[in-house]
Amino acid sequence: MGTPWRKRKGIGKCPAPGGRVGTMSPAIALAFLPLVVTLLVRYRHYFRLLVGTVLLRSLRDCLSGLRIEERAFSYVLTHALPGDPGHILTTLDHWSSHCEYLSHMGPVKGQILMRLVEEKAPACVLELGTYCGYSTLLIAQALPPGGRLLTVERDPRTAAVAEKLIRLAGFDEHMVELIVGSSEEVIPCLRTQYQLSRADLVLLIHRPRCYLRDLQLLEAHALLPAGGTVLADHVLFPGAPRFLQYAKSCGRYRCRLYHTGLPDFPAIKDGIAQLTYAGPG
């Protein structure tokens, strides 16, 4: 009988030329170096933003057991004057610039918002996206006597921080009411559960991808009066192209865009859209 056949190790495999597998020539790596450097220089502001808002924030969240808005509120408690919303806002700006980037509206956009609230003198304002309460304080400061603000925040933990900040600034529940829930669920209930028959001014500052859906919900439930104002933040970064396209093409809005930069990142261009509602048409 013949010798049994045995499979030998390595038979049937072709080694890569030179005996090396998956290595890159140093010359090829060096050829890509100018491109990498160019991209890092051109997009350095976006890289800094990514590191600050994702990597470092996640690390601090894990180490402290607190979210950034909770850390910011702790800072406000020890550095701001209770009952003084202006000082609280300045303290939050200082925290964002010198401690951790807060991803808030910031003073430049804040001035635009306050000026428009003072100019329009709305009896009732609806804010979608309370977050830490920064823009809520801006609106509340500028409301006319007897004005009312309803602000909606979907995350209960974030809403708890915002509630404390709003009350620390001196605004009670009759003037500023915070609703915890998603905008998609809250908007249909505003008339029946919260006695909101119309919103003279609406601020969209939650998720840009939800702006169009929520604007159409406000229209469907007849919550926008003719001449009412809708303000939308972050329409250029990260951007809300479908929302802007709808507002410009549907024929029911006059549109204006305020060009700004991100707080602490002025090179990253953003904008606030101001829509004036002409009516259902």
Domain range summary for the chain, segments of one domain joined by +:
105-277
Report the SS3 class of residue 274: strand
User: pLDDT tens for residues 98-146?
Assistant: 999 999 999 999 999 999 999 999 999 999 999 999 999 999 999 999 9
What is the pTM (predicted TM-score) of this model?
A: 0.85
Nearest to 148 by CA among 176, 183, 190, 169: 176
Compute the distance between CA of residue 216 and CA of residue 222 in angstroms, rounded to an integer. 10
Report the SS3 class of residue 151: strand
For 68, the token pair is 């950034």
pLDDT at 208: 97
Please state which CATH number belongs to domain 105-277: 3.40.50.150
Residues in contact with 228: Cβ distance below 8 Å, sequence separation at least 6, in sequence order: 198, 199, 200, 201, 202, 276, 277
Q: What is the end-to-end Cα distance of the chain in Å, rounded?
A: 97
Burial class (CB in 10 A: 0-12, 13-18, 19+), 176: buried
Residue 22 has pLDDT above 80, yes or no: no
pLDDT at 1: 46
Q: 165: which DSSP letter? A: H
pLDDT at 5: 42
User: pLDDT tens for residues 84-104?
Assistant: 999 999 999 999 999 999 999
User: pLDDT tens for residues 210-257?
Assistant: 999 999 999 999 999 999 999 999 999 999 999 999 999 999 999 999
Compute the distance between CA of residue 117 and CA of residue 50 in angstroms, rounded to an integer. 32
User: pLDDT tens for residues 4-20?
Assistant: 444 444 444 444 454 45
